[in-house]
Structure 1
C-alpha cells in the first residue's frame, strides 16, 4: 500500500500520522504546519505549502527523511498516482509545443547537449518528472505529470531555464515467499564414516569390548535456483520462514536471501559419535560395526510472488494549466 507517515519533530519524533490518500486540508486532520520528518512507502508524495495543493511544493520518493526541507510549512499532501515505469517526456523550444523538440526517457543533464536553457513547454507521455533550473538537480524546479500538459511555462523566470530533468522513481515492488513442503523431493544416501572390527578365530565364544568416540564435520548447503531468471533480478532480497521437514532430520534455511547469480550458502556443523561395545563373538566369526551417516538432498519448491506498483489513472481533460502554483525549491 502507498502511504506516507509524517512526524511532528525531526528524527521521527513527536506526534505522527499516517495517510494513504490525498489530503487537501491538514487543518481538518489536526496536523497543519507541523511536519518536520517523514517516511514514504512506495509511490512518491508531494507536500504543499498551502491548503488545496497550492503554494510551494516538495517531492519525496520512497525512503526515510529525518529532516524535511522546510519545517512546519506543509498544509496539504498529494500522492503521485502515475505509472512511473518507462517514463517519457517531450520538451519544446517555444510555447504551445512549437519549435524544436526533444524526447527524453531517462534522467538527463541538458547542459551537455544542444537543448540547454531552451524549453518553454512540455507534454508528458508517461510518468512524472522534475525539471530543474540548473545542472545536477540544482536551483528551483517544477513538476511535470502525465495528463497535465503545460503549453506555456507562464512565469518569466522559467522560460529557457531547464537544464536538468529526471523521472520520479516508482516504489519498490515486494517479494513474498511461500515454501511448498508438500512438493518436496528427497534423495537419501548412506556413507560409512568409521568402522570397528573384532575377530574370533578360536573354537569358543569370546567377549569383545571396545569404545569409540569421534567428532566429524557435516557441511550443510542451502542453494536457491530460479526457473525463470527474468522474474527475479539480481540484488532482490526476500525472506523465507524457517521450517522443519517431518522426518528423522530437520532442515532449516536462512531467514533472508539476496539473489546473486550462482550463489549458495553453506555452513558446517560438528557432530560426535560415542560407541561402547560389549558383544559376544561366536567361534570363527568376524564382528563388524559401522558408523553410517545419512546424506540427504532435499529439494523444496519456493513460490515467490512479486508485486509491482501499477496505478490505474483516472480519466483527465487535457487542457491549458497555469504554472504559477507549481514552482518550488529543490530539497537537494
Structure 2
C-alpha cells in the first residue's frame, strides 16, 4: 500500500516519508485526524514508510548555525519559533544544527510552520544535507510534542 487517503494518530508522533525505506519528503504527524493529504502538508497521497518519533525529555533544546560545521551566527531554542527573523536571525537559511536531549524538532522552509519539513533528532548535523534537505532554507522551527 502506498496511497493514503486519511490518517488518525491516536498516540505519539510519527515521521512519514513519501518513499519506502524512510526516504523522500518527510511529514510529521502528531495526535489528531488528517482527513486528506493536504492536512499533513503533502503534495499527493503517496506514503511509502513511517516510523515513530521519540518523546522529548529534560534539557530539550536546539541550536542553529549560519555556516556549515557550526560556524557563524548561532541561536538557541527551547520553544517553538514561527519566524526565525523575529528572533534576530539575519538570513532565511540554516546550514548546521545541534539537537540536545531526547526530543525531536521540525525545521520548516517557510515561516509559520509551512513548506517542506525536516525532522532532526538528537545529534549534530554539520550541513543541511545531513537532515536530507535539498537546500539550507529554514524559516521556522517547532518541537515535536507527543500526546499519549
TM-score (structure 2 length as normaliser): 0.82
Is there any run of 5+ residues in structure 2 with no aligned partner, and where?
A: none
**How far apart, CA to CA, are the structure 1 residues paired with 2:57 and 2:12?**
9
Task: Quickly say closer, same or farther: Cα 1:157–1:48, change in 2 above 3 A.
Answer: closer
Q: Which has the higher contact order (CA 8 A, sep 6+)?
A: 2
CA shift, 1:158, in A, is 2.5
Q: SS at 1:52's partner residue?
A: coil
What residue is the counterpart of 1:77 in the other structure? 50
CA shift, 1:157, in A, is 5.7
For the pair 1:138 / 2:111, whether they are aligned, the reply is no
- After the TM superposition, which residues 141-160 of structure 1 pair with which residues of structure 2 at under 5 Å, given as runs? 141-147=117-123, 149-154=124-129, 158-159=135-136
Is there any run of 5+ residues in structure 1 with no aligned partner, and where?
A: 1-31, 173-332
For the pair 1:39 / 2:12, whether they are aligned, the reply is no
- Check conservation: 1:49, 1:55, Cα contact below 8 A: yes
CA shift, 1:34, in A, is 2.7
2:141 to 133, 157, 165: 165
Q: SS at 1:89's partner residue?
A: strand
What residue is the counterpart of 1:114 in the other structure? 88
**How far apart, CA to CA, are the structure 1 residues paired with 2:77 and 2:55?**
17
What residue is the counterpart of 2:27 in the other structure? 58
Number of matched residues?
Answer: 139
Larger Rg: 1
Q: SS at 1:111's partner residue?
A: helix
Q: SS at 2:79's partner residue?
A: coil
- Check conservation: 2:20, 2:49, Cα contact below 8 A: yes
What residue is the counterpart of 2:69 in the other structure? 96
Q: SS at 1:112's partner residue?
A: helix
For the pair 1:48 / 2:25, whether they are aligned, the reply is no
CA RMSD, 1 decimal: 2.2
- Check conservation: 1:84, 1:168, Cα contact below 8 A: no
**How far apart, CA to CA, are the structure 2 residues paired with 1:118 and 1:74?**
28
What residue is the counterpart of 2:78 in the other structure? 105
Task: Quickly say closer, same or farther: Cα 1:62–1:103, change in 2 above 3 A.
Answer: same
Q: SS at 2:108's partner residue?
A: strand
**How far apart, CA to CA, are the structure 2 residues paired with 1:94 and 1:146?**
19
Deviant stretches of 4+, over 6 Å: none
CA shift, 1:95, in A, is 0.5
